[in-house]
Amino acid sequence: MTYQEAAEHAFGQAVSFDPQILRSYDHDLGEMPRPLMALIQHRPHTVVVARSAADVATALSLAKRYDVPVTPRGQASAGYGGAIPSRGGMVLDLSNCNRILAVDADKNTVDVEPGVVWEDLSRALAPHGLDNRVCPTSAPSSTVGGWFAMGGVGIGSLRYGSIRDSVLEIDVAGLDGTIRTFAGADMEPFHQTCGGLGVITRLRLACRPAEAILPLAVRLPDAAAAARFLETLATTPAAYSASLVNAGYCALRAQAEGHRPAITSGFLVSIALLAPQADTAAIARLASDCGGEVLDDAVAAQEWEGRYYPMRIKKIGPSALVGEFFIPFEGFAATSADLTAALPDDAFGLEAFAVRGGKLAVLVYILDDAKALLYPLRMAKAMIPLRLAARHGGAPYATGMWFSALAKGIYGPDKYERIARLKTARDSRDLLNPGSIGGPWLPFLPIISLSRCILWGTACLAPLAARLSYTRRRATKHPGATA
Amino acid sequence: MSTQEQSPTARDAALAKMLAEAVDTCARCGFCKVSCPTYPFGGGFETFSPRAKVAFLKDYFEGRDVLTPEWVDRLYRCTTCERCQTVCQTAIPLVALWESVRADIVTKGLGPMPAHKKLRALAEKHGNPYGESASRQSQWLSPEHHPMEAADILIFGGCTASYRMPSMLQTGVTILTRLGVPYAYAGGEEHCCASPLLRTGQLDVAGELIGKNLDLFARTGARTLVTPCGGCSKTLKHDYPVWAEKLGKPFDVTVRHFSEVYVDLLRQGRIKPSVAVNKTVTFHDPCHVGRSQGLFDEPREILAAIPGIKLLEMPRCRESSRCCGAGGGVKANYPQMAAAIARERLDEAVATGADTLVTMCPFCQGSFSQAIKESEASIGLSGLEELLLASLRQ
Ligand SMILES: Cc1cc2nc3c(=O)[nH]c(=O)nc-3n(C[C@H](O)[C@H](O)[C@H](O)COP(=O)(O)OP(=O)(O)OC[C@H]3O[C@@H](n4cnc5c(N)ncnc54)[C@H](O)[C@@H]3O)c2cc1C
Ligand code: SF4
Ligand code: SF4
């Protein structure tokens, strides 16, 4: 039986080799220049829509039998290239593995298939008096499995840490077609490794009691004051989530949405408090001690309601380069100042999530136009924020395919060694999401990692790129839009 | 087929430019994908999602891809329910995009779908897509109704209500009659509002029908058009002003969906629902009434005013309401898909435990009535106005 016959036999209508179908699976959130994409086989030759753990196991054993690379994919809402094939092969679309398997209201846990969408999970937990502890701001579309495999922080991370801290147990399918359960430290290698060691088919999550949330908005005069404020806020029992944006971000969003910016200078911190324990007077005192002020309730409500729309500013881009990094609270002010100095002519917005343990996950949006001639060159700017942050104790946010060369720094040497050993044992032919751990390789020189070339290239080009500011071509709202 | 000049530019350059720019801003977040009622009917492949369609259109506008029959088919598998547009991260006017591309497809002779061509032929010949004769248009009038020759209010029945699902129209007019609110009705002269033709990209014939209706409205001298239909009211509110300008005809009227009229009457104290209607109901927000016109509070205000009614909301309601599957020409050309979408929504309604599913659009009513029959679901179906009428003293 040929590979195609075997795949059709196993999956019937749920497998496709149609080029028109396949074209939808050759990209993720990131807008990479075409010449760069041309260096990898980004278009798969097969797509399988899995609807169960058994489908996943079947797809993986098929891949092993026919030596076909497999790239798992949730909603492809991450921008690190993890869900893009680097050697063609099969994309395993997991977004239809989306059943909620069991809720244990006594233990505050839920078992889910990997393709369950965060917002759907929140809705399904509500009747049980539970809610997600953490979720990304892409919660209306992104999947539980995708976020765990990608690693990240988001809403709720001030109280509950990263997604890793809320996952209790996982099932992972391997190339041999078996599914094994991992918990505790054994789970660690599957976190942040983008499916490079196996495909997650079930996750058990810890949930929080579904308490009402009270949003508050505070303006702080500068980055140092914002960091000081967050540091104390983190110790407040009612603190659930906190994120901040700079005035530049507010200005861009106001322009995109057609209203007046909430702040015109300093930083806007949006706080979500657990309502039953909230002490708003104490927060107001804290804000004032840091030289800030509590803003109108309407601003707070608007920020909380708009929490899933961080990329609205793209409307005036039309593209956005995104630089991301972790930074300890104490390094934030210096990094922020360096950024302003390094990108003097750019319209950039800064958004950050406070994370348990005293750090911030910072996103820097630099508006651009992916169609412009100089875009591939200006892309080097996306690495500037991480480089500046590194001077002040910063670290990379995630790996994926594009930043796999940073994996050691992200995982730490111990986890890195463990992953490397497991990779050899579980997937010696590098079929599981090839490129996500250590690769991908340059097509004409397959001993050099493309990810490393990107790091070198952007390091060399960044000074030049920083001088090439982008003039926006329009600043209007799309007429007719209802959102 | 893949060049710039073959994109929708010829028809409306400014709109085409705006839409081509808008697709550039797509953040690829996938919010539209998970909320689209038709995406699951593409076998679960991303390609059938609005996000993938936007990506395709971006390439198409930039000359990197061509409109194949498969893409044409995918682009017609959309009910124009506006859910994707409501959730869009970068506020792309997605429905304008879908409709504009459909018009482009028709201009190039690559569409519309076979059933849509039939709608067109019937509308051209009979003035309505059901192929009914004008003489049957006012069949729903009962002896109790007394339309005037001319009045401030002109009832616009709409084809679906007039010829297929008359209960809402009939009841609405009965309520006006009993309250002594004067109204005119031009039964026999009304043409299809053109919604099915606009949504399927058949702009030439749509323009003809709209022109005839504009002439009719001007002739009657009406100040307010009142209709029970979501599709008609959306089209009259949003499309007619644009077309009136394009055709150089006057359109100096206010358009109101019946629910808006009831709310006014309630607030003015002219209707006083007092007879208990002991029902536990759930309300389905029709896409073209809710998301298109923002009428979310009005039906709930009416329900709240009726003694004995208990409202149980479906989890997906108001802005996030799920489509009934009928709009955008989908029911005509993809009846099975439309029926499956309606059944899904019906299941949500049944799950609330309500004994009656309430709507306020004859299109939705048609979909659900079929779905209830086919699935033998144990839930009743009622138009909002029927409940209201039942609560008024004779
Ligand atoms: C509007 C917006 C807001 C965002 N906000 C945040 C945020 O607050 N925090 C944050 O961290 N990120 C954020 N992101 C990025 C992204 O949404 C998250 O990383 C998200 O969790 C990815 O989920 P996904 O289902 O789209 O995964 P994908 O992008 O499909 O996959 C991510 C990686 O996981 C792998 N993978 C997917 N499923 C599995 C599986 N079952 N088993 C093994 N490997 C798998 C893929 O191969 C890929 O390498 C945001 C993105 C957008 C568009
Ligand atoms: S309008 Fe409705 S059916 Fe059409 S793409 Fe958007 S969500 Fe899907
Ligand atoms: S919701 Fe809007 S921005 Fe997000 S993928 Fe869909 S079209 Fe693009």
pLDDT in tens, B338-380: 999 999 999 999 999 999 999 999 999 999 999 999 999 999 9
Q: What is the pLDDT of residue B366?
A: 94
Peptide linkage before B114 cis (omega within 30 of 0)? no
Token pair recorded at residue B103: 């018009």
Q: What is the pLDDT of residue A480?
A: 35
Q: How far is CA A10 from the centre of its chain?
A: 33
C-alpha B336/C-alpha A211 separation (Å) is: 42
The two beta strands, B153-155 and B183-185, are parallel
Q: Which ligand 1 atom sits closest to the C-alpha of A145?
A: 41
Chain A CB contacts of B21 under 8 Å are: 318, 474
Q: A130 exposed, middle or buried (CB, 10 Å; 0-12, 13-18, 19+)?
A: buried
Chain A CB contacts of B30 under 8 Å are: 75-77, 138, 141-142
Q: Which of A132, A147, A422 to mutate to test the pocket of ligand 1 (most atoms within 8 A of CB)?
A: A147
Q: B336 exposed, middle or buried (CB, 10 Å; 0-12, 13-18, 19+)?
A: exposed
Q: Which of B149, B146, B162, B159 is nearest to B220 (CA)?
A: B149
In which band, very low, low, confident or very high, does the pLDDT at B2 lie, cut at 50, 70 and 90? very low
Whether B307 shows a pLDDT value over 90: the answer reads yes
Q: Which residue of B has its CA nearest to A257?
A: B91
Cβ atoms of B80 and B95 within 8 Å: the answer is yes
Q: What is the pLDDT of residue A483?
A: 26
Cβ atoms of A159 and A143 within 8 Å: the answer is no
CA distances, A339 to each of A224, A269, A389, A415, A468 (Å) = 14, 19, 9, 31, 15
Q: In A151-279, which residue ranges form alpha helices assigned H by DSSP? A: 157-160, 223-233, 247-257
Whether B7 shows a pLDDT value over 80: the answer reads no
Whether B51 shows a pLDDT value over 90: the answer reads yes
Peptide linkage before B112 cis (omega within 30 of 0)? yes
Cβ atoms of B158 and B233 within 8 Å: the answer is no
Q: Which residue in A21, A28, A76 is closest to B45 by CB distance?
A: A21
Q: Which residue in B70, B71, B85 is closest to A482 by CB distance?
A: B85
Kindly state the DSSP code that residue A99 receives in the 8-state scheme. Answer: -
Token pair recorded at residue B88: 């869009």
What is the rounded (10 degree) CA torsion for B134, B138, B139, B140?
Answer: 140
Cβ atoms of B285 and B357 within 8 Å: the answer is no
**For B161-167, what is the mean pLDDT?**
94
Q: What percent of chain B has pLDDT over 90?
A: 94
Cβ atoms of B298 and B259 within 8 Å: the answer is yes
Asked if residue A438 has its Cβ within 6 Å of ligand 1, the reply is: no
Whether B9 shows a pLDDT value over 50: the answer reads no
In which band, very low, low, confident or very high, does the pLDDT at B1 lie, cut at 50, 70 and 90? very low
C-alpha A405/C-alpha A409 separation (Å) is: 9
Provide CB contacts within 8 A for A263, sequence distance 6+. Answer: A219, A247, A250, A295
Asked if residue B29 has its Cβ within 6 Å of ligand 3, the reply is: yes
ipTM of the complex: 0.95
**Going residue by residue through chain A (483 aa), what tens digit of pLDDT does each one get?**
999 999 999 999 999 999 999 999 999 999 888 888 999 999 999 999 999 999 999 999 999 999 999 999 999 999 999 999 999 999 999 999 999 999 999 999 999 999 999 999 999 999 999 999 999 999 999 999 999 999 999 999 999 999 999 999 999 999 999 999 999 999 999 999 999 999 999 999 999 999 999 999 999 999 999 999 999 999 999 999 999 999 999 999 999 999 999 999 999 999 999 999 999 999 999 999 999 999 999 999 999 999 999 999 999 889 899 999 999 999 999 999 999 999 887 878 999 999 999 999 999 999 998 888 899 899 999 999 999 999 999 999 999 999 999 999 899 999 999 999 999 999 999 999 998 887 788 877 778 888 989 899 999 998 889 888 887 655 444 433 332
Q: Which residue of B has its CA nearest to A115?
A: B34
Token pair recorded at residue A251: 């200005």
Kindly state the DSSP code that residue B229 receives in the 8-state scheme. Answer: -
Chain A CB contacts of B91 under 8 Å are: 256-257, 312, 315, 477-478, 481, 483
Q: Which residue in B24, B68, B92 is closest to A20 by CB distance?
A: B68
Asked if residue B31 has its Cβ within 6 Å of ligand 3, the reply is: yes
Q: What is the pLDDT of residue A395?
A: 95
Tell me the residue length of chain B. 394
Q: What is the pLDDT of residue A345?
A: 79
Q: What is the pLDDT of residue A449?
A: 87
Per-residue DSSP letters for A106-143?
Answer: TTTEEEE-TT-BHHHHHHHHGGGTEEES-B-TTTTT-B
pLDDT in tens, B95-124: 999 999 999 999 999 999 999 999 999 999
Residue nearest to atom 4 of ligand 3 (CA): B29
